[in-house]
Amino acid sequence: MMTDKKQRKSNYHDTYIEEILKMIDETLQNNQEVDITFEVSLKLHICGDAARRFQKMHEDFIHENDPYRCLNENKEMFRSDFKDVFHHVDRCQKEAEEFTDRCLKPAVEGFVNRSLGPDIIGEMRTSEQFSTRMSFQYSVLLDLLSEDDFKKYLSFICSYENYVKNWILNKIVEHFSNGSTMFEEQHLQSCVNSINNAIQKAQTEKSGNLKSFVDVVCQELGDKLVISQDALGKFMILNNANQEQFAHRLTECVKEMAQALREKFKETNIQTKLQNLQEEEPTRSTSLYFIVHMSYREMYPDWKIPPDASLQASDYWKYVMAKFNDEFAAAYDAKPADIPPGWKEITKEQAEASLKESFSTK
């Protein structure tokens, strides 16, 4: 009961305590062993706790509905509205712009950002290097050989999972660095269609005022777009624009919003898009970028990708150990290993051929 009252953000009423007492009486009614002393003590305890919560609820209600606070928070908007009325500015145009900028645009942008994760994963899975576990491992090891960088080999050996996550991230950035906005356009157009359908639905409802009109629009979009209730509440204050004119202006504003977002998506690099994705899904981010974790774990839920033990005696690792013998010794604070002479004669090309043979790659 207390939770329900609090969520409604309503003010305290005397009947609330009466409801609590009635609930206690109903609970104790079937228990004949409860004496009057216990009953009184129980009611005093429960009502005392409820009274403190109701007091806080009352104070919150007074604060939330304080006219002076509301006026101060929105005085710039009221001043702007007054100037518009005085100068005979097209109120419908301005209200449509405000509703689009404050409510619709952030919701659409958030939806597009959240939708990019599965799109990026699907696109990366079409690449050969992500197609199977073996292809993935082969590609990682081949890259290491191509770069011939000891620090990367050391990272691969000491922190394998972190290394491959960073490797995946780099491949994603490399793949999407051409600035393609194909995925954004698809989701953006879907949002625009949904908004236009919601506007048409609201027009057929023949709502009595603008608030009812906007309520219908938001209700229709509720399953898809997350519209800020705070922004919506501020927009609706003293809003009495003509409904039909507002609908017409809003449709035009949505077109302009879509074009502005297209330009923004086009100018946003892939690193920023990945960061935006992480911010949209903070609870699912377990590494630098959410999408990297998704790629590593959710693309291949049955994968367990430890370094392949079958490669330990291959020419690939013989080449690596011979080439970086001194570096490995320094890293592990040890003496250089006694490398067999034959290992030192293995070329980079032979190491690559050994890698291909180990993974049955032609």
Domain range list for the chain: 2-65, 309-358
The pLDDT value recorded for residue 309 is 47
Question: Distance (Å, rounded) from C-alpha 356 to C-alpha 315?
Answer: 11
pLDDT tens digits, residue range 96-144? 888 999 899 999 998 998 888 888 888 888 888 888 888 888 999 999 9
> In the block, which residue shows the tokens 């048409």?
200
Least confident of 15-29, 92-106, 107-121, 329-343: 15-29
pLDDT tens digits, residue range 262-274? 999 988 888 888 8
C-beta atoms surrounding 39 within 10 Å: 14
C-alpha torsion 245→248→252→254, nearest 10:
100
The pLDDT value recorded for residue 188 is 95
- Mean pLDDT score, 35-50: 85
Q: Is the pLDDT of residue 171 over 70?
A: yes
Please report which confidence band the pLDDT of residue 3 belongs to, taking 50, 70 and 90 as the band edges: low
Nearby residues of 154 by Cβ (< 8 Å), 6 or more positions away? 327, 328, 331
In a 3-state reduction of DSSP, which class is residue 315? Answer: helix
Q: Is the pLDDT of residue 5 over 80?
A: no
User: How is residue 29 written in tokens?
Assistant: 């009614």
Nearby residues of 119 by Cβ (< 8 Å), 6 or more positions away? 183
User: How is residue 311 written in tokens?
Assistant: 């490669």
CA nearest neighbour of 288 among 129, 170, 120, 111: 170
Find the length of the chain.
Answer: 362
Nearby residues of 155 by Cβ (< 8 Å), 6 or more positions away? 162, 163
